């Protein structure tokens, strides 16, 4: 594991490296880098061992939420994922319980900072920023609170071009660049205040919201609360599920796309939704081998263009398969998967193991809903937008935030404008699930109808809300049914009396990399232009490459004519190949990963021990929970009392859904189950910070210290 150099999309000025130590060994870091990322770059994945059972602990959420990555920094226990490395910092693994550094002198204590604001927006991601723009542009005073050191939320991890509508949600632009645009607009609004490195930790019944701001505690009293806290990843119960190297796609994207750390050499993905599919693509871009992907359902739930894109790069996708175990002692060494039957039971004899160092769990998202639930319980004026309200694409979150922003502005009397019906419709369309894949007959038409010409071929065959291709064609020859941007694009070609001029703009902008250009004008074999988001120097003219059809079936080996890496194409490289006429229009991609990478181990690996963990914080196994359910326990609070599941640092953020799942597996309907009570704080806060005792020691202990503007 090292840092990623020459990433095709992300450019980063790293600054001057410095050294710190981990367990006595020198580790190098760059300014702004977290301890966790620097350790990963140095190949360290075990950050300590759990006090209960000595199990290895490491990075899990990479988001400041779970406390699995605690290390000792100069003697203070800190979250490695949120704490920046610093020159000469002495970092030690946290083995067992940390020792609290002794202080004899009483600190000066102060009252928390208090702030009144019309609208408090929790989360500066796509939904929160869009709402802030609507509110701020109408002069409403807004405070945006975000726990990271820059705005954008998960947009800053998204290196791919976005789907959706160009006009409504910047479709065709990369997520990272949408983040910058939204941030720029928010920063221009004088009535919008932004607190970075600030974590909302509780909503109280007296209407105040507790915020850990850098190393200080603040209480904010909003007239309206907008919860735009996004989502957290679901987890899964399998043997070895807490080994270092098993984590969610969000953590992976943070390491790879934010910090440019090659967090893995060989990655295996569990879950074929958009999150897993996109993470696989991001891994390939980072030079990481993607050994395979399993999806429990017979078809991937994500966009077909994402799935096809991954398949075209050479990644095998096993549907109706599940993970049985992650295997290893101090980290993942292999994964064992199996086919499953209609009842989702593994089919004996189908077990296969693959060598890998990382297993990405991407089995869906749950709203971060604790703030919403608390505000609702206390009857506070509250709105929710984005994933915190309903899990959907980031493009949908951008638009949902805009709608909620206007609704709040209206509720506060800042405008008389109502939400236009067209907005509501667009909001619904952007949230819609992909349609069924359709047969495309157009392909044949292209082959017969425009022979001898140049023409685009659309390899998207599933209705999703997306339209960038229609807006870039200078000849206006690409159209989508105007009443619904989910319809498939059509090339009007000869019907319109105008011809494609081969400008390649549609090829470049398609977020799914699903448009190619076939040029038959030369008379000999056609030239096919294929979009490619890998370093432009990967191929050069004359190289032989394997081309594949839209779903990844190899079509043959062809020669590269030209590689075009133009600045105006925003990091999308165009590769021109000459291919026989029989396959030219079917070519949709160029293989980047060799088949040997995906070969299974000679024999399936049996996992060590029975350690499928449900509560990561307290190391409670699925077996312990199942036993209680079978004894008749129906109150999750009682399960918590006897097993400690949910009592840990994260407060049941991961295990609550897993316990509910075990109930279902044990044929207990959730209507018979009493849900566990969730109490604040939602993120731990040092007593010294709550007391306003801003000495140096307390500052260090705060979850998100001295990295950005909130530095003390």
Partner 1 sequence: MPRSVYDVIVLGAGSVGVPAGWAMAESGLSVLVLDPFASSGQGSNKAAIGGIRATHSDPAKIRLGLRSLEIARTWKDTYGDDIEWTTGGYSFVAYSPREETILKDLLVIQKRYGLDIEWYGRDGLLEIVPPLRPDGLMGGTFSPGDGHCSPLLFGHALYERAKGAGVDFHFGEAAAGIEVRDGRVRGVTTSKGRYGTRVVVNAAGPWAADVGRLVGLVHPVRPDSHEGGITEPVAPFFGPMVVDIAPAPGSANYYFYQLATGQVVFCITPSPSLWGFDRRETSAFLPMVAGRMVRLMPTLANLRVRRTWRGLYPMTPDGSPIVGWAREIDGYLMAIGLCGQGFMLGPGLGELLARAVQGETTPEDEEILELLSPYRVFKGQEALK
- Answer yes or no: are the C-beta atoms of 410 and 178 closer than 8 Å: no
Q: Which is nearer to partner 1, 50 or 404 (CB)?
A: 50
Signed CA dihedral, 314, 315, 321, 324: sign only: positive
CB of 130 vs partner 1, minimal distance in Å: 29
Shorter beta-carbon distance to partner 1: residue 155 or 212 = 212
Looking only at residues 218 through 277 of this chain, which bind partner 1 when binding is defined by CB under 8 A? 219
The DSSP annotation for 502-531 comes to ---HHHHH-TTS-EEEEE-TTSSS-EEEEE
53 binds partner 1 (CB under 8 A): no
d(CA 309, CA 573): 15
Please choose, out of 41-49, 99-107, 429-437, 595-603, the segment that lies near partner 1 by the rule CB under 8 A.
99-107
Closest by CA position to 459, among listed 572, 392, 548, 519: 548
Q: Is 67 in the site for partner 1 (CB under 8 A)?
A: yes
Tell me, rounded to whole angstroms, the distance of Cα 354 from its chain centroid: 24
Q: How far is the CB of 35 from partner 1 (least distance, A)?
A: 17
Among 445, 692, 706, 712, the residue binding partner 1 under the rule CB under 8 A is: 692
CA distances from 702 to 160, 280, 695, 698 (A): 34, 34, 11, 6
Tell me which residues in 632-661 interact with partner 1 (CB under 8 A).
Answer: 633-635, 637-638, 640-642, 649, 651
Q: Are strands 573-578 and 554-564 parallel, antiparallel or unpaired?
A: antiparallel
Among residues 97, 421, 436, 667, the one that binds partner 1 under rule CB under 8 A? 97
CB of 641 to partner 1, least distance (A): 4
Cα dist. 439→442, 462, 488 in Å? 9, 9, 11
Q: Give yes or no for residue 347 binding partner 1 (CB under 8 A).
A: no
How far is residue 176's CA from residue 152's CA, in Å, rounded to a whole number? 8
Nearer to partner 1, 377 or 606 (CB): 377
The helix (run of H) or strand (run of E) holding residue 373 is helix 370-378
Of the candidates 56, 84, 112, 240, which one interacts with partner 1 according to CB under 8 A?
Answer: 112
Among 12, 25, 345, 679, the residue binding partner 1 under the rule CB under 8 A is: 679
Min dist. Cβ of residue 703 to partner 1 (A): 8
Residue 36 contacts residue 69 (beta carbons within 8 Å): yes
Please give the Cα distance from 571 to 699 (Å, whole number): 41
Give the nearest distance from C-beta 145 to partner 1 in angstroms: 15
The yes or no reply on residue 54 touching partner 1 (CB under 8 A) is no
Q: 441 Cβ partners below 8 Å, 6+ apart?
A: none
Total number of residues binding partner 1 (CB under 8 A)?
57
Nearer to partner 1, 31 or 680 (CB): 680
Smaller CB separation from partner 1, 32 or 680: 680
How far is residue 268's CA from residue 324's CA, in Å, rounded to a whole number? 13
Is the Cβ–Cβ distance between 47 and 38 less than 8 Å? no
615-634 residues near partner 1, rule: CB under 8 A: 633-634
Among 39, 326, 685, 704, binds partner 1 (CB under 8 A): 685
The two structure tokens encoding residue 101: 């550094």
Considering only residues 364 through 383, tell me which ones interact with partner 1, judged by CB under 8 A. 377-378
| Shortest Å distance, C-beta 74 to partner 1 | 12
Residue of 433, 429, 423, 380 lying closest to 403 (CA atoms): 423
Please say whether the beta carbons of 80 and 22 come within 8 A. no
Query: In this structure, are strands 613-615 and 620-621 parallel, antiparallel, or unpaired?
Result: antiparallel
Is residue 438 close enough to count as binding partner 1 by CB under 8 A? no
Q: Which stretch binds partner 1 (CB under 8 A): 341-349, 541-549, 653-661, 697-705?
A: 697-705
Name which of 411 and 691 has its Cβ closer to partner 1. 691
User: CB under 8 A: which stretch of 39-47, 329-337, 384-392, 683-691 binds partner 1?
Assistant: 683-691
Binding partner 1 by CB under 8 A: which of 17, 31, 32, 107? 107
Smallest gap from Cβ 116 to partner 1, in A, equals 13
Residues in a beta bridge with 405? none
Contact region for partner 1 (CB under 8 A) — 107-115, 345-353, 553-561, 573-581?
107-115
The DSSP-derived string for 464-496 is: -SB-HHHHH-TT--EE--TT-TTSPPEE-GGGG
| Residue 337: closest CA among 379, 295, 302 | 295
- The secondary structure of residue 257, as a DSSP letter, is I
Among 104, 439, 482, 603, binds partner 1 (CB under 8 A): 104
Site residues for partner 1, 658-677, by CB under 8 A, read 674
Q: Does 47 bind partner 1 (CB under 8 A)?
A: no
Residue in 388, 367, 484 with CA at minimum distance from that of residue 428: 484
Angle made by CA atoms 129, 409, 197, in degrees to the nearest 5? 30
The C-alpha atoms of residue 85 and residue 677 are separated, in whole angstroms, by: 36
- Which of 56-64, 108-116, 242-250, 272-280 is the region at the interface with partner 1 (rule: CB under 8 A)? 108-116
346 binds partner 1 (CB under 8 A): no
- H or E element that contains 532: strand 527-532
> How many whole angstroms separate alpha carbon 259 and alpha carbon 148?
13
CB of 212 to partner 1, least distance (A): 10
Task: Give the nearer residue to partner 1 in terms of CB position, either 261 or 694.
Answer: 694
Residue range at the interface with partner 1 (CB under 8 A); choices 24-32, 197-205, 285-293, 543-551: 197-205
Q: Between 394 and 689, name the residue whose CB sits nearer to partner 1.
A: 689
Interacting residues with partner 1 (CB under 8 A):
51, 67, 76-77, 96-107, 109, 111-112, 202, 204-206, 208, 210, 217, 219, 377-378, 633-635, 637-638, 640-642, 649, 651, 674, 679-681, 684-688, 690-693, 695, 697-698, 700-701
């Amino acid at each position: 594991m090292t840092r990623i150099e020459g990433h095709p999309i992300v450019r980063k000025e790293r600054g001057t490296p410095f050294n710190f130590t981990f367990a006595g060994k020198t580790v190098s870091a760059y300014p702004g880098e977290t301890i966790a990322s620097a350790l990963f770059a140095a190949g360290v994945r075990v950050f300590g061992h759990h006090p209960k059972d000595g199990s290895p602990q490491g990075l899990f959420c990479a988001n400041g939420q779970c406390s699995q990555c605690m290390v000792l920094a100069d003697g203070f226990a800190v979250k490695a994922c949120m704490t920046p490395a610093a020159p000469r910092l002495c970092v030690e693994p946290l083995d067992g319980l940390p020792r609290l550094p002794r202080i004899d002198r009483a600190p000066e204590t102060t009252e928390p900072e208090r702030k009144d604001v019309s609208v408090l927006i929790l989360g500066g991601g796509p939904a929160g920023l869009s709402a802030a723009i609507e509110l701020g542009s109408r002069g409403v005073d807004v405070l945006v609170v975000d726990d990271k050191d820059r705005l954008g939320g998960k947009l800053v991890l998204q290196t791919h071009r976005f789907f959706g509508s160009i006009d409504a949600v910047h479709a065709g632009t990369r997520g990272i660049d949408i983040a910058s645009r939204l941030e720029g607009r928010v920063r221009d609004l004088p009535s919008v205040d932004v607190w970075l490195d600030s974590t909302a930790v509780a909503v109280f019944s007296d209407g105040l919201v507790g915020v850990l701001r850098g190393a200080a505690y603040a209480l904010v009293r909003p007239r309206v609360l907008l919860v735009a806290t996004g989502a957290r990843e679901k987890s899964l119960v399998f043997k070895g599920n807490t080994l270092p190297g098993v984590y969610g796609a969000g953590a992976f994207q943070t390491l790879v796309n934010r910090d440019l750390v090659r967090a893995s050499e060989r990655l295996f993905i569990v879950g074929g939704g958009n999150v897993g599919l996109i993470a696989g693509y991001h891994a390939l871009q980072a030079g990481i081998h993607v050994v395979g992907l399993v999806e429990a359902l017979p078809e991937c739930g994500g966009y077909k263009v994402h799935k096809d894109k991954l398949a075209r790069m050479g990644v095998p996708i096993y549907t109706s398969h599940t993970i049985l175990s992650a295997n290893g002692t101090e980290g993942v060494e292999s994964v064992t998967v199996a086919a499953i039957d209609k009842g989702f039971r593994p089919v004996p004899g189908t077990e296969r193991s693959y060598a890998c160092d990382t297993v990405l769990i991407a089995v869906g998202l749950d709203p971060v809903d604790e703030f919403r639930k608390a505000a609702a319980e206390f009857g506070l004026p509250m709105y929710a937008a984005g994933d915190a309200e309903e899990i959907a694409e980031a493009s949908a979150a951008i638009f949902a935030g805009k709608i909620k922003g206007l609704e709040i502005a209206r509720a506060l009397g800042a405008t008389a404008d109502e939400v236009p019906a067209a907005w509501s419709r667009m909001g619904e369309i952007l949230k819609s699930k992909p349609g069924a894949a359709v047969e495309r007959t157009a392909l044949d038409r292209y082959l017969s109808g425009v022979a001898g010409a140049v023409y685009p071929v659309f390899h998207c065959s599933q209705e999703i809300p997306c339209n960038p291709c229609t807006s870039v064609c200078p000849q206006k020859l690409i159209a989508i049914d105007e009443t619904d941007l989910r319809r498939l694009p059509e090339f009007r070609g000869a019907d319109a009396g105008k011809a494609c001029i081969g400008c390649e703009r549609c090829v470049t902008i398609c977020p799914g990399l699903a448009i190619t250009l076939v040029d038959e004008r030369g008379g000999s074999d056609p030239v096919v232009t294929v979009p490619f988001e890998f370093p432009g120097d990967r191929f050069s003219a004359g190289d032989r490459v394997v081309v594949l059809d839209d779903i990844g079936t190899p079509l043959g080996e062809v020669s590269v004519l030209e590689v075009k890496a133009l600045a105006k194409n925003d990091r999308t490289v165009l590769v021109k190949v000459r291919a026989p006429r029989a396959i030219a229009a079917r070519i949709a991609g160029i293989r980047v990963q060799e088949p040997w990478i995906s070969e299974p181990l000679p024999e399936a690996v049996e996992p060590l021990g029975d350690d499928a963990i449900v509560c990561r914080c307290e190391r409670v196994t699925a077996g312990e929970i199942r036993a209680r359910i079978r004894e008749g326990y129906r109150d999750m609070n009682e399960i918590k009392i006897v097993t400690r599941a949910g009592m840990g640092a994260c407060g049941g953020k991961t295990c609550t859904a897993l316990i509910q799942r075990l109930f279902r597996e044990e044929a207990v309907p959730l209507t018979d189950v009493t849900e566990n009570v969730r109490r604040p704080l939602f993120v731990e806060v040092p007593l010294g910070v709550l007391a306003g005792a801003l000495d140096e020691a307390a500052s260090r202990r705060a979850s998100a210290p001295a990295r950005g503007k909130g530095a003390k």
